[in-house]
Structure 1
Amino acid sequence: MSDKKHSGGVQRGPIGGQPVLVTSSLLDLHTPYSYGMMDTLSTLIQTWLQWDQDPTSRAEIEQLRDSNAVEELEKRLRNRIEFGTAGLRGRMAAGFSCMNSLIVIQASQGLAKFIRDQRSDIASHGVVIGHDARHNSKKFAALAANAFIAQKIPVFLFDQEAPTPLVPFGVSHFHAAAGIMVTASHNPAQDNGYKVYSSNGAQINRPEDGEIAQSIKDNLEPWPTAWEPLQPGEYLRSDSYQQLLPHYMDRVGKFMKSTVANWEPPKPFVYTPLHGVGGLVLPELCHSLGIDNHASVEAQEIPDPDFPTVKFPNPEESGALDLSIETADKQGRTLIIANDPDADRFAVAEKVDDKWQLLTGNHVGVLLASHILDSYDADKDWSHISVLTTTVSSGMLAKMAAAKGIHFKETLTGFKWMANVARDLEKEGKTVSFAYEEALGYMFPSVCYDKDGITAATVFLAAEAKWRSQGLTVYAKLQKLFAEFGHHETLNNYFRSPDPELTSTLFQGIRGSNCLADMKFGRFKILRWRDLTKGYDSSTADNKPDLPDDPTSQMLTLWLEGGVRFTFRGSGTEPKVKFYIESCGDSRDDAVKAVCDTFLTIREEWVERFTPSMSYSKQLPTSSGHMLTVE
């Protein structure tokens, strides 16, 4: 691209082609382009209008140009949306910084060229491309397919909306070179995303993600066929979904039944897919398994990309299950299960003594783990079996595994880590039976190497039926586990940090204070601390951590006297600094007090001291339902 100044009027795009009208007020603005170039804003506008052939997004940029909206154009065009956590995710709008057709084309060209050049031995195995029911998801999937077909890479394209877990399952089933799922999971309606899986069926991880990101930058200009309508041909497998779904359902059913000695259906329950694609698969799967005693939330059972009945389509959010509770109360049912819109997450609520209890991801995780671990006989050596969770999830799973003689492994946050660690353990001869993370994600490698809300639902329903035969409700089973392994209370939430510099200032202040050096955190004594940003662990002989360091993110974990552990980290996808506090005590009250005291210390010793402008919720619920009200 040229950095030459122009005098206004009509200019040709930098690659040639259609004339583009530029106004003189935009011409002399120079700031560094994301690749280190010095492009004028007018050049960026020209480049966008030269490359983009989507009428809607073209019109957006043209309107902003004609109205001289310099600040908005800078925001849209100056920097590219980051190819990071397993791909892309962001607001759908025109511009290099947003999710749109051109960005999908560029990402797909980069990935296709990476596979053709760097994975040439498996390129002929093809790629699996699925999409959810969000706005533009089907269109984005078709545009992605064009890029691979241009490189003569076969495409297993889903011709209808599908749950996310079917893509990683499909990668393994078809032995594909890669997988793509067009989804923004539980994000708001205006967002979309592009999730990438490697040939092992797991989300891409470093260094592969960086190599793909570079390939994208090397292949930004749309190829000649990039915008053409998708046509039938020798490289397009458009019936892939119909082929794959029966195999997925069969695998899920077999795995679920393998976890129980005598399969029986659960008690009547209410199910909601929260306007997502889970409702296209789970009810049919339940019927095939003889589970016909569920009721759907009618207003939410059909996919709807506007999510009209919920403020946020995330079952973790307050109010998301209100219609489910209303439906359950009307029908006299005491159990609710839910998926998020792309059905990779799973949530549970149970009515206990006339009050609905929404279980946390840690609660459901240890309940599922208990059910699976119970299927292993006590008198055998199970050291080759492994279970996984992440550093921000409960420490309870490690205790449960140790009691069974089962191998336990902690990983960094996210399923891109857990899935790839699971694959590595398999190479060492381990069998990974289960993995989970506190954000309602549960992985069953027997089915696929990513979080899977459909499999989680069926396994949970089988577990509920087993516990009921033992005279236990779901909640009673959880309390029984607490009695055995200690009451684990959590308080997970966040401080709002709209500026990455603010997050950086906070962590610089923490590291520059005497807190960590003096091993004191308010009234708490620090027993151990780990800084994965700097690659430090106070508990090891060489001060190297037992997890990979990541200098691109902010993450501290502290172990405190009194059975408290907490992680403090900057979010990679949201304007937040998140905290995950857990205490294990002999009683609920002791554990609740410990997590609340820890939060107040974080606020006073760190946030108010170094970044007092950060805001936070004044009502913070702990995992058992206690509400911490902050003055």
Structure 2
Amino acid sequence: MTRDIKDLAKEWLELDEDKSTTDEIYKLLVDGDTSELEKRLRHRIAFGTAGLRGPMQGGFACMNSLTVIQASQGLAAYLLKTEKNVERRGVVIGRDARHNSEKFAKLTAAAFVAKGIKVWWYEDPSHTPMVPFGVRELDAAAGIMITASHNPAKDNGYKVYWSNGCQIIPPHDVGIAESIMENLKPVTWDTTVIESSLLVEGSLDLVQDKYHQAVLCAAQPEHVKVKMDPELRFVYTPMHGVGLPAMQRCAETLDVASQMAVVEAQAQPDPDFPTVKFPNPEEKGALDLAIETAEKSSIRLILASDPDADRLAAAEKVGDKWHIFSGNQLGALLGSYLFERYPASKPREKLAMLASTVSSRMLAALAKKEGFKFTETLTGFKWLGNVARQLDSEGYDVVYAFEEALGYMIPQTVHDKDSISAAAVFLTAASHWSTQGLTPYAKLQQLYQYLGYFEDANTYLVSPSPSVTTSVFTAIRALGSPHPTSICSRKIARWRDLTLGYDSKSKDHKPDLPVDVTSQMITCELDDGAVFTVRGSGTEPKIKLYIECQGKSSEEAKTGATEILEDLLREWFKPEENGLRLA
């Protein structure tokens, strides 16, 4: 039986002790705003493989003190049930500089202390990769990072790392979600435990030095003799986030601190992100201030982190225009450098790199040509990190993984994306290329000539509802039996449906990647070498389209990708007919 919304509001008011959010729900109740109460209270914020993320408001559907306590109590109970020596090993808790991040982190710590579990507490805001690094370094049972990454200022999130230093994957996400439902009544709201409890140990100093040693080892291992280019000047922006202290330390470690200029207006953490529309370096215009700073000092290279500094963007002035590297281009550049510097004394077939299924096939093409192992995973670093660790256990030497959304993993540092270790490798690579008379952009052109040109036409459609998304994908599947065999004049050489669990190319028609009936995802390889993936987003009302074409020139590849996008919109997605809005 569906509960009355007023009963849900009363339950909220009984459980919540944070005045800011009790006042919100109380006012909505008094005003009789049932539609807003329904939005905020009817459905609980879902705990998924990325943990929690959403707007900061009162209500079970949002990020707030109560839902953070409930998540922490559920996670603590689940850890005690599934891991060994949890109380002694403890959990690492970090936070970014968003609104309420410190409060949420302290409430998280209080919930673990109440269960008798040690807390490794990061005293200051820090970049996200410090948490998975700390989990491994301190042999903790888990790590929690309070962050919403590059989301808008109104959002926050709760990201969970398992004891292996990777983001959680099934079945832990489901297990934790069930455990949260069994631990809804707050045990404590007392955040003074941070100062008073012997179970809480300030630990940022315990791991920071070791993290930067690991970054240096990742960028310049013993067998690599790269003299940093004294002419290599660059602009860095942390985009109002927490990346600057780590990036400054990284530049000092590499001995290029005097060559780094900082975008002053974006240097210090500001949870309102006043100078950017969206605090995401992928967004149009996000690098405008960095370009302005670079122009003033005649600097031709830019690096940028997102606010929690796990994603990296790069741009280079080519002639009189700025080229902003796509996530795929930067991914191929870093991968090619890590391959080139791999010791000749080690067996090449044991070298391994990874990319997610929505990322460029350029790294796969390099692997095929050069004889090292390339593995494709589902989207997200939860998969890239965990699969990398699995490959390590099978005797492979995994040196790199990337995803097109500006995520780069250097496993010697962390098994997650990390803008700081990626920046360290990029700056070392740029110094190496400069000895060959090449800039990063020129190196990219050299790679295109060697492997062929790869261009994409990635975009997304905004869907009115999950049911519309499902019906659109159902209609697409019905265009053929057992699946469509062409898109306009191009033939589909391979059809892989990870929703239904069908792969036309495998012997038993079972896919090589995990199947998830709750999410829509189809990948098609075409007879001309092009590939595209279409999927429903798990966190937003979007249908995402990732299209990549190969060609003998950039123009040929770009034209092909654009044609496939037009064909998909016309034949499959029919935006006007289905009420979908193109980005």
Which TM-score applies when normalising by structure 1?
0.90
Give how far 1:517 is off.
3.4
What residue identity is the alignment partner of 2:500? K
Residue of structure 2 in register with 1:459 after alignment? 425
Query: Of the candidates 201, 216, 239, which is equivalent to residue 253 of structure 1?
Result: 216
1:41 counterpart = 2:5:
yes
Residue of structure 2 in register with 1:168 after alignment? 132
Is the contact between residue 172 and residue 201 of structure 1 (CA under 8 Å) also seen in structure 2?
A: yes
Is the contact between residue 143 and residue 226 of structure 1 (CA under 8 Å) also seen in structure 2?
A: yes
Q: How do 1:16-55 residues align onto structure 2 when only pairs under 5 Å count?
A: 38-55=2-19
1:353 counterpart = 2:319:
yes
Residue of structure 2 in register with 1:398 after alignment? 364
Q: What secondary structure, in the 3-state scheme, does the structure 1 residue paired with 2:399 have? A: strand
1:517 counterpart = 2:483:
yes
Is the contact between residue 78 and residue 96 of structure 1 (CA under 8 Å) also seen in structure 2?
A: yes
Q: How do 1:537-556 residues align onto structure 2 when only pairs under 5 Å count?
A: 537-556=503-522
* Aligned equivalents of 2:550, 2:374: Cα separation in 1: 19
Residues 67-119 of structure 1 deviation map (CA, whole Å, 9 limit, x = unaligned): 11010001100110110132000111000001111010000000001111222
* Aligned equivalents of 2:403, 2:577: Cα separation in 1: 29
What residue identity is the alignment partner of 2:239? L
Give how far 1:40 is off.
1.6
Residue of structure 2 in register with 1:12 after alignment? none
What residue identity is the alignment partner of 1:277? V
Give how far 1:388 is off.
0.5
* Aligned equivalents of 2:220, 2:161: Cα separation in 1: 28
Q: What secondary structure, in the 3-state scheme, does the structure 2 residue paired with 1:558 have? A: strand
Cα gap change, 1:611 to 1:83, in 2 (>3 Å): farther
Query: Of the candidates 78, 95, 102, which is equivalent to residue 138 of structure 1?
Result: 102
Is the contact between residue 386 and residue 409 of structure 1 (CA under 8 Å) also seen in structure 2?
A: yes
Give how far 1:232 is off.
2.2
Is the contact between residue 116 and residue 151 of structure 1 (CA under 8 Å) also seen in structure 2?
A: no
Is the contact between residue 505 and residue 610 of structure 1 (CA under 8 Å) also seen in structure 2?
A: no
Q: How do 1:104-119 residues align onto structure 2 when only pairs under 5 Å count?
A: 104-119=68-83
* Aligned equivalents of 2:33, 2:454: Cα separation in 1: 52
Q: What secondary structure, in the 3-state scheme, does the structure 2 residue paired with 1:333 have? A: coil
1:244 counterpart = 2:207:
yes
Q: What secondary structure, in the 3-state scheme, does the structure 1 residue paired with 2:334 have? A: helix
* Aligned equivalents of 1:232, 1:403: Cα separation in 2: 59
What residue identity is the alignment partner of 2:210? H
Percent identical among aligned pairs is 50
Is the contact between residue 215 and residue 421 of structure 2 (CA under 8 Å) also seen in structure 1?
A: yes
Q: What secondary structure, in the 3-state scheme, does the structure 2 residue paired with 1:277 have? A: coil
Q: What secondary structure, in the 3-state scheme, does the structure 1 residue paired with 2:113 have? A: helix
Cα gap change, 1:482 to 1:218, in 2 (>3 Å): same
Q: How do 1:57-96 residues align onto structure 2 when only pairs under 5 Å count?
A: 57-96=21-60
Give how far 1:148 is off.
0.8
Is the contact between residue 502 and residue 611 of structure 1 (CA under 8 Å) also seen in structure 2?
A: no
* Aligned equivalents of 2:421, 2:481: Cα separation in 1: 44
Residue of structure 1 in register with 2:164 after alignment? 200
Give how far 1:611 is off.
4.6
Give how far 1:248 is off.
0.6
* Aligned equivalents of 1:515, 1:561: Cα separation in 2: 19
Query: Of the candidates 197, 205, 210, which is equivalent to residue 233 of structure 1?
Result: 197
What residue identity is the alignment partner of 2:131? V
Is the contact between residue 401 and residue 409 of structure 2 (CA under 8 Å) also seen in structure 1?
A: yes
**What is the RMSD computed on CA atoms of the aligned residues?**
1.4
Residue of structure 1 in register with 2:341 after alignment? 375
1:593 counterpart = 2:556:
no
1:605 counterpart = 2:571:
yes
Cα gap change, 1:114 to 1:611, in 2 (>3 Å): farther
* Aligned equivalents of 2:338, 2:154: Cα separation in 1: 38
What residue identity is the alignment partner of 2:544? K
What residue identity is the alignment partner of 1:436? F
Give how far 1:498 is off.
3.2
Residue of structure 1 in register with 2:179 after alignment? 215
Is the contact between residue 81 and residue 98 of structure 1 (CA under 8 Å) also seen in structure 2?
A: yes
Is the contact between residue 55 and residue 154 of structure 2 (CA under 8 Å) also seen in structure 1?
A: yes
What residue identity is the alignment partner of 1:280? P
Residue of structure 2 in register with 1:287 after alignment? 252
Residues 590-628 of structure 1 deviation map (CA, whole Å, 9 limit, x = unaligned): 1111101100011100111795310113xxxxxxxxxxx
Give how far 1:39 is off.
1.8
Residue of structure 1 in register with 2:459 after alignment? 493
* Aligned equivalents of 1:243, 1:42: Cα separation in 2: 49
What residue identity is the alignment partner of 1:467? W
* Aligned equivalents of 1:610, 1:529: Cα separation in 2: 26
* Aligned equivalents of 1:588, 1:516: Cα separation in 2: 35
Is the contact between residue 131 and residue 181 of structure 1 (CA under 8 Å) also seen in structure 2?
A: yes
1:277 counterpart = 2:245:
no
Residue of structure 2 in register with 1:435 after alignment? 401
* Aligned equivalents of 1:569, 1:196: Cα separation in 2: 24
Which deviates the most, 246-255 or 351-360?
A: 246-255
Residue of structure 1 in register with 2:470 after alignment? 504
Deviating above 4 A after TM superposition, structure 1's stretches of 4 or more consecutive aligned residues are 377-380
Give how far 1:229 is off.
3.1
Residues 104-137 of structure 1 deviation map (CA, whole Å, 9 limit, x = unaligned): 0000000001111222444421100000000000
Residue of structure 2 in register with 1:623 after alignment? none
Is the contact between residue 238 and residue 306 of structure 2 (CA under 8 Å) also seen in structure 1?
A: yes
Residue of structure 1 in register with 2:275 after alignment? 309
What residue identity is the alignment partner of 1:244? V
* Aligned equivalents of 2:484, 2:112: Cα separation in 1: 56
Residue of structure 2 in register with 1:473 after alignment? 439
Q: Whose radius of gyration is greater, 1 or 2? A: 1
What residue identity is the alignment partner of 1:142? K
* Aligned equivalents of 1:382, 1:303: Cα separation in 2: 43
Residue of structure 2 in register with 1:362 after alignment? 328
